[in-house]
Amino acid sequence: MSYSTKKFVMIRAGDLFSAGRQGGVIGALFRGRRGCIGVTARHIMRLAGTRDLAIGDVRGVVVADWEAFDLVYFRVPRCEPTDLAEPQLGPARLASALREKDCSISDVGNLLAVVLGHADLPGPGESGTPLYQDGKVVGILSSVNLNSGKGTAISSRVVVKGAEGLI
Q: State residue 1's pLDDT score.
A: 43
Could you report the average pLDDT of every consecutive run of 10 residues in the chain (167 residues)? 55 96 95 91 94 94 94 95 97 94 94 86 83 97 87 96 89
Whether 62 and 107 map to the same domain: the answer is: no
Q: Is residue 8 part of a domain?
A: no
DSSP state of 20: T
Q: State residue 96's pLDDT score.
A: 95
- Look at residues 82, 102, 131 and tell me which one is the last residue of a structural domain: 82
Whether 120 and 153 map to the same domain: the answer is: yes
| CATH code for position 123 | 2.40.10.10
**Separation of alpha carbons 45 and 40, rounded Å:** 9
Collect all residues with Cβ–Cβ distance below 8 Å to 114 and sequence separation of at least 6: 92, 94, 103, 104, 105, 106, 131, 139, 141, 150, 151, 152, 153
Q: State residue 32's pLDDT score.
A: 82
Q: Which domain holds residue 142?
A: 90-157
Whether 70 and 103 map to the same domain: the answer is: no
Whether 94 and 132 map to the same domain: the answer is: yes
Whether 112 and 54 map to the same domain: the answer is: no
Transcribe 102-121 into DSSP letters. Answer: EEEEEE-SSEEEEE--STT-
Q: State residue 132's pLDDT score.
A: 98
**Looking at the 3D structure of the chain, how many domains does it have?**
2
Q: State residue 95's pLDDT score.
A: 95
Q: Is residue 3 part of a domain?
A: no
Whether 97 and 64 map to the same domain: the answer is: no
Q: State residue 145's pLDDT score.
A: 85
Yes or no: say if 43 and 124 are a contact pair by the CB < 8 Å rule.
no
With CA atoms as reference, report the closest residue to 55 among 99, 96, 4.
96
**Separation of alpha carbons 57 and 36, rounded Å:** 16
The pTM assigned to this predicted structure is 0.91
- Look at residues 27, 55, 82 and tell me which one is the last residue of a structural domain: 82
Q: State residue 119's pLDDT score.
A: 78
Across 8-165, the runs of DSSP E, i.e. the strands, are 16-19, 22-25, 28-32, 35-41, 52-55, 58-66, 71-76, 90-95, 100-107, 111-115, 130-133, 136-145, 150-155
Q: State residue 2's pLDDT score.
A: 44
In sign, the C-alpha dihedral spanning 97, 98, 101, 103 is negative
Q: Is residue 149 part of a domain?
A: yes
